[in-house]
Amino acid sequence: MSGPETAVIYHLGRVAYRPAWALQEAIKDRHIQAKRSGEYLPHVMLLLEHPPVFTMGKSGNDQHLLAPGDAEVVYIDRGGDVTYHGPGQLVAYFLLDLDRLYRDLHRFMRDLEEIVLRTLNEFGLTGFRVPKRTGVWVGEEGTERKVCAFGIHVSRWVTTHGLALNIDPDLQYFSRITPCGIADRGITSMVKELGKSCDTNAVARSISYHFDAVFGILSQELSGAAAYEHLENLLDQKGMIQDLAQQPIMAVEK
- Interval 51-81: pLDDT, tens: 999 998 877 667 777 777 788 888 888 877 7
* Mean model confidence pLDDT for the chain: 89
108-151: pLDDT as tens digits: 999 999 999 999 999 999 999 998 888 999 998 888 999 999 99
Pairing of strands 89-95, 43-49: antiparallel
Positions annotated as catalytic residues are 180
**pLDDT for residue 252 is more than 80:** no
- The mean pLDDT value for 78-105 works out to 93
| 59 domain-assigned | yes
For residue 172, what is the domain's CATH number? 3.30.930.10
Enclosing domain of residue 160: 5-245
Among 103-117, 204-218, 228-242, the least confident range: 228-242
What pLDDT is recorded for position 243? 66
What DSSP assignment string belongs to the chain?
--SSEEEEEEEEEE--HHHHHHHHHHHHHHHHHHHHHT----EEEEEEE-SSEEEE-TT--GGGB---TTSEEEE-SSSSSEEEE-TTEEEEEEE-BGGGT-S-HHHHHHHHHHHHHHHHHHTT---EEETTEEEEEESSTTS-EEEEEEEEEEETTEEEEEEEEESS--GGGGGGB-GGG--SSEE--HHHHHTS---HHHHHHHHHHHHHHHHTEEEEEEEHHHHHHHHHHHHT-HHHHHHHHTSPPPP---
138: in domain = yes
Query: What pLDDT score was predicted for residue 253?
Result: 38
Q: Is residue 91 part of a domain?
A: yes
pLDDT tens for 146-199 read 999 999 999 999 999 999 999 999 999 988 877 655 555 689 999 999 999 999
Q: What is the pLDDT of residue 141?
A: 81
pLDDT at 197: 96
Asked if the structure places residue 154 within a domain, the reply is: yes
Asked whether residue 64 is domain-assigned, the answer is yes
Asked whether residue 250 is domain-assigned, the answer is no
Residue 16 has pLDDT above 70, yes or no: yes
Q: Is the pLDDT of residue 18 over 70?
A: yes
- pLDDT for the residue 247: 55
Q: Does residue 254 sit within a domain?
A: no
Q: How many structural domains are present in the chain?
A: 1
In a domain, 253, yes or no: no
